């Protein structure tokens, strides 16, 4: 069945007198080709469990629910509850939660759904057009806090997508690049113009796919995370100075320099010139 999302969106916005809430990052996706491509990129099988963050008016939800046996929709805006239940009245394969994604214990929620549905889910995917004001905390939460989610297919600002896949020695390369690389494989699936949304955001967007994969072996994750945060705290400075001024591991200047020399890092190098393998080596030499 062909869906005309632009028409449906206009009708719903008229009927319920909806004005997109800017503070909540509401930009509704109205381009059916993009919606279809998100579903193709997520490669959902009927038996997967899908979690959608911010279903809004249900534009992406409808595509998701046509392709999976069960989905959890988490929406912070209480006004959307009636609209969504109305729009999705022909579907009985979803649970709608009026909640803040950043406050939910996701793995506990998944476990409750498994008990309710009497089914253990192997593949758990997040498919979402994210509210951009909290993109990074959401990505970290999904990658770090949940042991159950395997794959994340999300719409983000193009600029964030570029930071995620950045290479050393570029201005985009930083904490987000290293954190995501440490926890997952990342790919930009396709670029989305701002004309695909109502209202149109100021920025171009991109759909990215993050597949959980811890491919680097560090002796201590805690030290790895500390190291990259300290190294990039003052990215214009030499890494030795940045580590010193952020009091990395309570080391003094001499100890920091010894650590860097031991790992063949030039004392004049800046954090953005160092690749992830070197950060891993440094951690494992402590
Ligand atoms: N999925 C819809 C679409 O594609 O048309 C709407 C996407 S819109 C970019 C982001 C949605 O996330 C909005 O509906 C907004 O209300 C919701 N949202 C914002 N902050 C949220 C939060 N902390 N937790 C859950 N949903 C949130």
User: In terms of DSSP bridges, do strands 94-98 and 184-192 run parallel, antiparallel, or are they unpaired?
Assistant: unpaired
- Calculate what percentage of the chain has a pLDDT beyond 90: 99
Check the CA dihedral 257-259-262-263 and report its sign: negative
Q: Report the distance separating Cα 84 and Cα 223, nearest Å.
A: 44
Which of the listed residues 7, 13, 24 should we mutate to test ligand 1's pocket, taking the one with most ligand atoms within 8 A of CB? 24
Q: Which residues have a Cβ under 8 Å from the Cβ of 212 and sit 6 or more positions away?
A: 143, 149, 150, 151, 183, 184
- The answer on pLDDT for 225 being more than 90 is yes
Q: How far is the CA of 98 from the centre of ligand 1 (A)?
A: 11
The answer to whether residues 52 and 27 belong to one domain is: yes
Q: How far is the CA of 56 from the centre of ligand 1 (A)?
A: 5
Indicate the number of domains in the chain: 2
Which of the listed residues 33, 131, 155, 197 should we mutate to test ligand 1's pocket, taking the one with most ligand atoms within 8 A of CB? 131
Average pLDDT for 19-39: 97
The answer to whether residues 111 and 24 belong to one domain is: yes
User: Which of these three, 212, 245, 264, is where a domain ends?
Assistant: 212
- What digits encode the pLDDT tens for the residues 40-81? 999 999 999 999 999 999 999 999 999 999 999 999 999 999
Query: Cβ(188)–Cβ(220) under 8 Å?
Result: no
Task: Provide the residue range defining the domain that includes 140.
Answer: 5-212
The answer to whether residues 242 and 191 belong to one domain is: no
The answer to whether residues 20 and 42 belong to one domain is: yes
Average pLDDT for 166-173: 97
pTM above 0.75, yes or no: yes
The answer to whether residues 13 and 79 belong to one domain is: yes
CATH of the domain at 281: 1.10.8.100
Q: How far is the CA of 38 from the centre of ligand 1 (A)?
A: 16
State the pLDDT confidence band at 2, using cuts at 50, 70 and 90: confident
The answer to whether residues 229 and 197 belong to one domain is: no
The answer to whether residues 96 and 228 belong to one domain is: no
Q: What is the pLDDT of residue 269?
A: 96
Length of the chain: 286
- What digits encode the pLDDT tens for the residues 226-253? 999 999 999 889 999 999 999 999 999 9
Measuring from atom 6 of ligand 1, which residue has the nearest CA?
A: 56
The answer to whether residues 138 and 233 belong to one domain is: no
Q: What is the pLDDT of residue 191?
A: 98
The answer to whether residues 26 and 105 belong to one domain is: yes
| Nearest atom (ligand 1) to Cα of 55 | 1
Query: Cβ(72)–Cβ(234) under 8 Å?
Result: no
- The answer on pLDDT for 14 being more than 80 is yes
Residues with beta carbon inside 6 Å of ligand 1? 24-29, 53-57, 59-60, 74-77, 100-102, 129, 131, 134
- Computed over every residue of the chain, the mean pLDDT equals 97
CATH of the domain at 45: 3.40.50.150
The answer to whether residues 197 and 245 belong to one domain is: no
The answer to whether residues 206 and 253 belong to one domain is: no
- The answer on pLDDT for 187 being more than 80 is yes
Measuring from atom 14 of ligand 1, which residue has the nearest CA?
A: 56
The answer to whether residues 15 and 39 belong to one domain is: yes
User: Which of these three, 212, 230, 250, is where a domain ends?
Assistant: 212
- Calculate what percentage of the chain has a pLDDT beyond 70: 100
State the pLDDT confidence band at 102, using cuts at 50, 70 and 90: very high
Q: How far is the CA of 164 from the centre of ligand 1 (A)?
A: 21
Query: Cβ(71)–Cβ(52) under 8 Å?
Result: yes
Cis? peptide before 170, omega within 30° of 0: no
User: Which of these three, 212, 241, 272, is where a domain ends?
Assistant: 212
- The answer on pLDDT for 1 being more than 80 is no
């Amino acid at each position: 069945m062909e869906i005309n999302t632009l028409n449906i969106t206009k009708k719903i916005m008229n009927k319920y007198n909806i004005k997109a809430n800017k503070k909540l990052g509401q930009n509704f996706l109205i381009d059916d080709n993009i919606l279809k491509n998100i579903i193709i990129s997520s490669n959902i099988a009927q038996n997967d469990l899908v979690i959608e963050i911010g279903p809004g008016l249900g534009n992406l939800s409808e595509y998701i629910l046509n392709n999976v046996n069960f989905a959890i929709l988490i929406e912070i805006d209480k006004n959307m509850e009636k609209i969504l239940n109305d729009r999705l009245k022909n579907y009985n394969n979803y649970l709608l939660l009026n909640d803040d994604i950043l406050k939910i214990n996701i793995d506990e929620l998944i476990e409750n759904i498994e008990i309710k549905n009497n089914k253990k889910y192997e593949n758990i995917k997040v498919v979402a057009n994210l509210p951009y004001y909290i993109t990074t905390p959401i990505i970290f939460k999904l990658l770090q806090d949940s042991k159950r989610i395997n794959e994340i297919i999300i719409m983000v600002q193009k600029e964030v997508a570029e930071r995620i896949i950045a290479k050393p020695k570029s201005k985009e390369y930083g904490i987000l690049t290293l954190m995501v690389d440490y926890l997952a494989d990342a790919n930009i699936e396709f670029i989305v113009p701002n004309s695909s949304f109502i209202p149109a955001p100021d920025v171009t967007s991109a759909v990215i796919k993050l597949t959980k994969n811890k491919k680097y072996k560090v002796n201590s994750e805690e030290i790895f995370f500390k190291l990259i945060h300290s190294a990039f705290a003052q990215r214009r400075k030499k890494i030795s100075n940045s580590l010193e001024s952020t009091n990395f591991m309570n080391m003094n200047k001499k100890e920091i320099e010894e650590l860097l020399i031991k790992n063949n890092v030039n004392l004049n190098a800046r954090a953005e010139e160092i690749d992830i393998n070197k950060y891993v080596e440094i951690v494992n030499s402590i």
